Chains A and B, each alone.
Chain A
Amino acid sequence: MDIKNFDIVVVGGGPAGMAAAVAAYDSGITSVAIIDREPSLGGILRQCIHNGFGLHKLGKELTGPEYAAVYETEVAKRSIMVYYETMVTSVSADKTVTATNKNGILKIKAKAVILAMGCRERSRGALNISGTRPAGIYSAGTAQKLMNCEGFAVGKTAVILGSGDIGLIMARRMSLEGAKVEAVCELMPYSGGLTRNIVQCLEDFDIPLYLSTTVAEIHGKDRIEGVTIAKVDENRNIIEETKRYIPCDTLLLSVGLIPENELTMGAGITMDNVTNGAVVDQYRQTEQSGIFACGNVLQVHDLVDYVSDEAEIAGKSAAKYVKNQLEAGNTVKTVAGNGVRYVLPQKVDIKSSEDVSLFMRVTAPFGKVRFTAKSGDTLLATAVRLKAAPGEMEKITIKAEKLREITTEITLSLEEL
């Protein structure tokens, strides 16, 4: 068995892993390894051939592979060890990372570990749609990979369930390849996707978006032949009399992303039931000292730009940890108050000398709102938005000097204006 030592091991070489490794290296830790299961870095970006990446972070509009290439180049400039086609099978609380590849089993003893495994899509099984179990049902990302990386057409007539961003992007992608997208159905009364994607991927292609609508049944024995769609009431129960049949040979599912946290849980790390990611502080350190998490494995982001930002925090923090410069600190909890579904980080070290940004998602679409962060009666920060939607992550920053005034948990809430 191959046994190695590195100061920092990054699990996953997607956008989060690459940015974290580069940030850690640039913070003075040169013994860094990235482990990735694919033959090249980039993760899911490699199949995202559409544009729209990098506007915030790099100031230019790139495709997914181009965005990945920017970071791949940065990794290559540094002497960061990359293990390709290597799958991490476990991470232990004592920071031993076990992985497997065609050379055998690899065990790496690390001083710090950064978890950057990304997320996966929810499957049909998790939705429990009744009916038959034919071919032609794909999670949107699987179809995207088959089309964009392997060059195969998956179907001619499609219905898409879920208006998450991948579903919207795939509605456009299939249309461009000559398929007819009959409908995009969204269970909720609003779309979970970015406004720009609804405009550019559906409206520009005359694809109807049916809100409060779901796929009630799947038909067809061998290959899917059609679906029954139906409106749902406010409790998301199917309204029988609204059922209607749409013939199709493909059903794409874009019904949510689930952080890929099997390794995290295997290491016994405390999880957040709402984000489905680890509980972290502002350094993105989990409750297991020396194990950090960032990117979609921690919380599902809207834009890769924000993934890179978060990964840089984790990379720098891990480097500090290795240098024994990351204080244990004095932490308070953050709490999701009125209109807020979750807050990340879940804990804040109030001894920090740096500003702390809190990220959150709202529970439903709102018009003009004011976000406030309070600790007891002390107002820590406030921000006004013209509108807020669950599909768009919000941020509020607490100034370092304000941290000194914190005595108890920080509650984030919104009021409608």
Chain B
Amino acid sequence: MYDVAIIGGGVIGSMLARQLSKYSLKICVLEKENDIAMGASKANSGIVHGGFDPEPNTLKARLNTVGVEKLFAVAKELNAPIKRNGSIVCAFGEDEEHAIKELYNRGIKNNIPGMELLSGDEARKLEPALSDKVTLVLRATNAGIICPYELTIAAMGNAMDNGAELIRCFKVETIEKADDCFTITSQKGKTVKAKYIANCAGAYSDEISALAGDNSFKIIPRAGEYMLLDKAAGSLVSHTIFQVPSKEGKGILVSPTVDGNLLTGPTAGVVNSPSNTETTAQGLKIVERLAKKSVPSVNFRQVITSFSGVRSSEKNGDFIIKMSDVTKNLLNVAAIDSPGLTCSVAIADYAIEALEKSGLKLTPKANYNPNRPDPHHFRKMTDDEKDAFIKKNPDYGRIICRCEGVSEGEIRAAVTTNPKALDIDSVKRRTRSGMGRCQGGFCMPYVMQIISEETGIPMEEITKKGEGSNQLIGRI
């Protein structure tokens, strides 16, 4: 029996597993997909928010304020790419200037360091590509950018290295409780028993809570569509450029990514189902129009891919992180929309406090290792270092993904390192193979071969992203 079964391998579930793996506990993460970070954690803005936006005295405000530095610290331990590039919120005219000043005051109440108000001209000195029509900006120097799926993968990898188990393709169908023990059964009939459940199921967290007997909240799935541009556009801006936020979200942003691309988006529309991650012609047009409002020179001919992610919102607008009032030993960590990624470490720690208060015994593990080896050590080497490394590890000398310069050695490592990549998209998220301008046109057959060699999965059964997404239908 597990002490804690975490349902959902998104950034929240994975970070909770990582923070819990510091203690002598038997932990598992149940993930319905073939890889982790398959929901909102792979499709969001990747922003470390400064913390001036949440209403003071909410859980969001409180966790954002402490969460920024916690995230920077943990990302460093995990070798997850993160960068403090600062953010700018733009006002276009008087009405929005008022809103910006309000944000600034909220930031003061939330105790956010490093904020300043700058005129349009001062802002354009920092960001020459900014629109002439920007009249005032709020700059937050503590804000940053992070790769959300790499953080998730790193957190889970570190949790696994410290003893946590990842159970994939486990779609929870029923949850039964008897004698302080949950029995969780998957769609395929596998069962897991646990003393505590941590419900981190994202857009499905209301369904999971209901399965465990608690119907107290309802998730409203809201989709955000994005367009990602080529690295050639990656240095157009250095800060993350926001517009004035509204109830629906923080508006359309234009931001560099930690990988050097340029990201634009997201839209904000309620969708019928959390699994609806379709992009729409209409949505992509909105992204283009509004991104150009802040930064007119964004060249949408440089788009290399577009995608959509679903936020998990709730009517009260705040995170729900608490032990269920109805079902004993059920912890709900739900309604984690923005700034959830920023708060992920703070959320995990806050959730652990709740578990401890309800009786979970936390005994620190003597051999806990907070660090995860850098999966990108090779790409950071000089030519001389690479040469020496290749002489010992020849696979690193063969480039598989020409656009991103990813070697065979890096791909083999992704397929054999916790949490192992078992499909094409999983390799992509770990190595960037297939993420460049040709979008896998060249490397995909080689990536399939390597996965097949390392795992023994026949070529025909290798999938793009789990069951049903086979790329090949058989031999000729």
Give the contact stretch, choosing among A61-69, A124-132, A384-392, A397-405: A124-132
Interface residues of B, count at CB 8 A: 55
Contact indicator A131/B399 (Cβ below 8 Å): no
Contact indicator B438/A120 (Cβ below 8 Å): yes
Against A, the Cβ 8 Å flags (1 = close, 0 = not) of B104-140 are 0000000000000000000000000000000000000
Most B Cβ at <10 Å: residue of A1, A120, A130, A155: A130
Give the contact stretch, choosing among B53-61, B170-178, B277-285, B313-321: B277-285
Does A94 lie at the interface of the complex (its beta carbon under 8 Å from any beta carbon of B)? no
Known A-B contacts A89-B405, A101-B397, A153-B474; the reply to A1 vs B384 at CB < 8 A is yes
Contact indicator B383/A103 (Cβ below 8 Å): no
Contact indicator A104/B469 (Cβ below 8 Å): no
Contact indicator B399/A123 (Cβ below 8 Å): no
Contacts of B304 in A (CB 8 A): 123, 125-126
Contacts of B402 in A (CB 8 A): 37, 87, 260
A237 to chain B, nearest CB (A): 10
Against B, the Cβ 8 Å flags (1 = close, 0 = not) of A245-275 are 0000100000000001010000000000000
Known A-B contacts A132-B277, A154-B472; the reply to A105 vs B386 at CB < 8 A is yes
Contact indicator B441/A132 (Cβ below 8 Å): no
Contact indicator B383/A1 (Cβ below 8 Å): yes
A390 to B470, CA, bound (A): 37
Does A147 lie at the interface of the complex (its beta carbon under 8 Å from any beta carbon of B)? yes
Contact indicator B470/A223 (Cβ below 8 Å): yes
Contact among B284, B386, B407, B445 with A150 in the assembled complex (CB-CB below 8 Å): B445
Does A205 lie at the interface of the complex (its beta carbon under 8 Å from any beta carbon of B)? no
Contacts of B394 in A (CB 8 A): 102-103
Known A-B contacts A103-B390, A152-B476, A177-B476; the reply to A133 vs B307 at CB < 8 A is yes
Contacts of B384 in A (CB 8 A): 1, 105
Main secondary structure of the interface of B (DSSP, over half): mixed
Does B77 lie at the interface of the complex (its beta carbon under 8 Å from any beta carbon of A)? no
Contacts of A145 in B (CB 8 A): 445
Contact indicator A37/B460 (Cβ below 8 Å): no
Contact indicator B397/A136 (Cβ below 8 Å): no
Most A Cβ at <10 Å: residue of B303, B383, B467: B383
Known A-B contacts A120-B442, A123-B439, A135-B469; the reply to A128 vs B398 at CB < 8 A is no
Main secondary structure of the interface of A (DSSP, over half): mixed
Contacts of B466 in A (CB 8 A): 222
A132 to B43, CA, bound (A): 13
Contact among B398, B438, B444, B459 with A85 in the assembled complex (CB-CB below 8 Å): B398
Contact among B278, B395, B441 with A141 in the assembled complex (CB-CB below 8 Å): B441
Does A221 lie at the interface of the complex (its beta carbon under 8 Å from any beta carbon of B)? yes
Contact indicator A123/B437 (Cβ below 8 Å): yes
Does A134 lie at the interface of the complex (its beta carbon under 8 Å from any beta carbon of B)? yes
Contacts of A147 in B (CB 8 A): 476
Contact indicator B468/A151 (Cβ below 8 Å): no
Does B465 lie at the interface of the complex (its beta carbon under 8 Å from any beta carbon of A)? yes
Does B227 lie at the interface of the complex (its beta carbon under 8 Å from any beta carbon of A)? yes
Does B356 lie at the interface of the complex (its beta carbon under 8 Å from any beta carbon of A)? no
Which chain A residues in 138-166 approach chain B with CB under 8 Å? 139, 141-142, 145-147, 149-156
Closest-by-CB residue of B relative to A148 is B476
Which chain B residues in 429-457 approach chain A with CB under 8 Å? 437-442, 444-445
Contacts of B440 in A (CB 8 A): 123, 142
A87 to B386, CA, bound (A): 14
A154 to B464, CA, bound (A): 13
Contact indicator A100/B445 (Cβ below 8 Å): no
Contact indicator B390/A102 (Cβ below 8 Å): yes
Contacts of A156 in B (CB 8 A): 473
B110 to chain A, nearest CB (A): 37
A146 to B407, CA, bound (A): 20
Contact indicator B441/A142 (Cβ below 8 Å): yes
Contact indicator B470/A135 (Cβ below 8 Å): yes
Closest-by-CB residue of A relative to B281 is A130
Contact indicator A135/B397 (Cβ below 8 Å): no
A50 to B350, CA, bound (A): 63
A274 to B278, CA, bound (A): 33
Contact indicator B281/A146 (Cβ below 8 Å): no
Known A-B contacts A37-B399, A123-B304, A123-B439; the reply to A105 vs B387 at CB < 8 A is yes
Contacts of A104 in B (CB 8 A): 386-388, 390-391, 397
Does A238 lie at the interface of the complex (its beta carbon under 8 Å from any beta carbon of B)? yes
Which chain B residues in 371-403 approach chain A with CB under 8 Å? 383-384, 386-388, 390-391, 394-395, 397-399, 402-403
Does A98 lie at the interface of the complex (its beta carbon under 8 Å from any beta carbon of B)? yes
Which chain B residues in 395-438 approach chain A with CB under 8 Å? 395, 397-399, 402-403, 405, 407, 437-438
A153 to chain B, nearest CB (A): 5
Contact indicator B472/A152 (Cβ below 8 Å): yes
A36 to chain B, nearest CB (A): 12
Contact indicator B397/A123 (Cβ below 8 Å): no
Does A309 lie at the interface of the complex (its beta carbon under 8 Å from any beta carbon of B)? no
The 6 lowest CB-CB distance pairs between A and B, nearest first, are A222-B468, A125-B305, A135-B464, A123-B439, A102-B394, A135-B469
* Given contact pairs A126-B304, A135-B469, A222-B469, a sample of 7 additional A-B residue pairs in the complex whose CB atoms are under 8 Å apart: A121-B438, A126-B303, A128-B227, A130-B284, A221-B275, A222-B464, A222-B466
**Which A residues are closer than 8 A to B by beta carbons?**
1-2, 37, 85, 87, 89, 98, 100-105, 107, 120-121, 123-126, 128, 130-136, 139, 141-142, 145-147, 149-156, 177, 216-217, 221-223, 238, 249, 260, 262
11 contacts between A and B (CB under 8 A): A85-B398, A98-B383, A100-B407, A103-B397, A120-B437, A126-B439, A133-B307, A135-B464, A136-B471, A146-B472, A151-B476
